[in-house]
Structure 1
Amino acid sequence: MGYYELTAKTTLLLCLVLGAAAVAGCSTPPSNNILRQVPAVYVFSDSTLDVGNNYLPGKNVPRADRPYYGIDMPGSSKPNRRFISIYSATITELYRMGPRMFAIINVGLAGCLPIARVLSATGACSDSRNKLAAGFNDALRSLLAGLPGRLPGLAYPLADSYGIMATVFADPLESGFTDVSSACSTGRLGVGGCQVTSTVCANHDQHYF
Structure 2
Amino acid sequence: MTSLQCTRWFLVMSLVMQVLLRGGGAAAADKVPAVIVFGDSTADTGNNNFIQTLARGNYPPYGQDYAGRVATGRFSNGRLPVDFVSEALGLPPAVPAYLDPGHSIHRLASGVSFASAGSGLDDITAQILSAVTLTQQIEHFKEYKARLRRAKGDATANHIISRSLYIFSIGASDFLANYLVFPLRRYRFTLPEYEAYLVGAAEVAVRAVHALGARRIRLAGLPQLGCLPLQRTINLARPGDCNEWHNMMARSFNHRLRALVWKLNQELPGAQVVYVDQYRLLAAMIAKPWEYGFENSVRGCCGTGYIETGVLCSLDNALSCDNADKYVFFDAVHPSERAYKIVANGILNATSHIVN
Could you state the TM-score of these two structures normalised by the residue count of structure 2? 0.44
Larger radius of gyration: 2
Structure 1: gaps spanning 5 or more residues: 17-33, 55-62, 67-71
Of the candidates 202, 213, 222, which is equivalent to residue 107 of structure 1?
A: 222
Please tell me the residue identity of whatever aligns with 1:106: G
Q: CA deviation at 1:186?
A: 2.1
Please tell me the residue identity of whatever aligns with 2:317: S
Q: Does 1:198 align with 2:317?
A: yes
- Cα pair distance change 1:171/1:51, threshold 3 Å: closer
Q: Which residue is 2:302 aligned to? A: 185
Q: Which residue is 2:72 aligned to? A: none
Equivalent pairs, count: 179
Q: How many Å separate the matches in 2 of 1:150 and 1:94?
A: 14
Please tell me the residue identity of whatever aligns with 1:185: C
Q: Deviations over 1:135-173 (max 9, x none)?
A: 000000001101122212110222111001111122110
Q: Secondary structure at the match of 1:108?
A: coil
Q: How many Å separate the matches in 2 of 1:156 and 1:11?
A: 20
Q: Secondary structure at the match of 1:140?
A: helix
Q: Which residue is 1:165 aligned to? A: 282
Please tell me the residue identity of whatever aligns with 1:205: D
Structure 2: gaps spanning 5 or more residues: 1-64, 66-74, 90-154, 330-356
Q: Does 1:8 align with 2:130?
A: no
Q: Which residue is 1:127 aligned to? A: 244
Q: How many Å separate the matches in 1 of 2:208 and 2:270?
A: 15
- Cα pair distance change 1:148/1:9, threshold 3 Å: closer
Whether the 8 Å CA contact 1:11–1:43 is kept in 2: the answer is: no
Q: Which residue is 1:65 aligned to? A: 184
Q: Does 1:117 align with 2:232?
A: yes
- Cα pair distance change 1:51/1:77, threshold 3 Å: closer
Q: How many Å separate the matches in 1 of 2:229 and 2:164?
A: 34
Q: Which residue is 1:141 aligned to? A: 258
Please tell me the residue identity of whatever aligns with 2:306: L
Whether the 8 Å CA contact 1:10–1:159 is kept in 2: the answer is: no
Of the candidates 251, 265, 269, which is equivalent to residue 152 of structure 1?
A: 269
Q: Deviations over 1:175-209 (max 9, x none)?
A: 01111010112236253722344231123210111
Q: CA deviation at 1:99?
A: 1.3
How big is the alpha-carbon RMSD for the aligned residues of Structure 1 and Structure 2? 3.4
Q: Which structure shows the bigger proportion of residues in strand conformation? A: 2
User: Is the deviation greater in 173-182 or in 194-203?
Assistant: 194-203
Q: How many Å separate the matches in 1 of 2:265 and 2:223?
A: 25
Q: Secondary structure at the match of 1:36?
A: helix
Q: Which structure shows the bigger proportion of residues in helix conformation? A: 2
Q: How many Å separate the matches in 1 of 2:251 and 2:321?
A: 31
Q: Secondary structure at the match of 2:219?
A: strand
Q: CA deviation at 1:113?
A: 0.6
Please tell me the residue identity of whatever aligns with 1:88: E
Q: CA deviation at 1:80?
A: 1.6
Could you state the TM-score of these two structures normalised by the residue count of structure 1? 0.71
Q: How many Å separate the matches in 2 of 1:113 and 1:195?
A: 19
Q: Deviations over 1:49-103 (max 9, x none)?
A: 588766xxxxxxxx7624xxxxx54894436222201110011111111111112
Q: How many Å separate the matches in 2 of 1:43 and 1:154?
A: 13
**Aligned residue runs from structure 1 range 75-90, under 5 A:** 76-78=190-192, 80-90=195-205
Q: Secondary structure at the match of 1:189?
A: coil
- Aligned-residue sequence identity (percent) comes to 23
Whether the 8 Å CA contact 2:221–2:276 is kept in 1: the answer is: yes
Q: Which residue is 1:207 aligned to? A: 327
Q: How many Å separate the matches in 2 of 1:82 and 1:100?
A: 24
Q: How many Å separate the matches in 2 of 1:47 and 1:159?
A: 13
Of the candidates 143, 160, 164, which is equivalent to residue 40 of structure 1?
A: 164
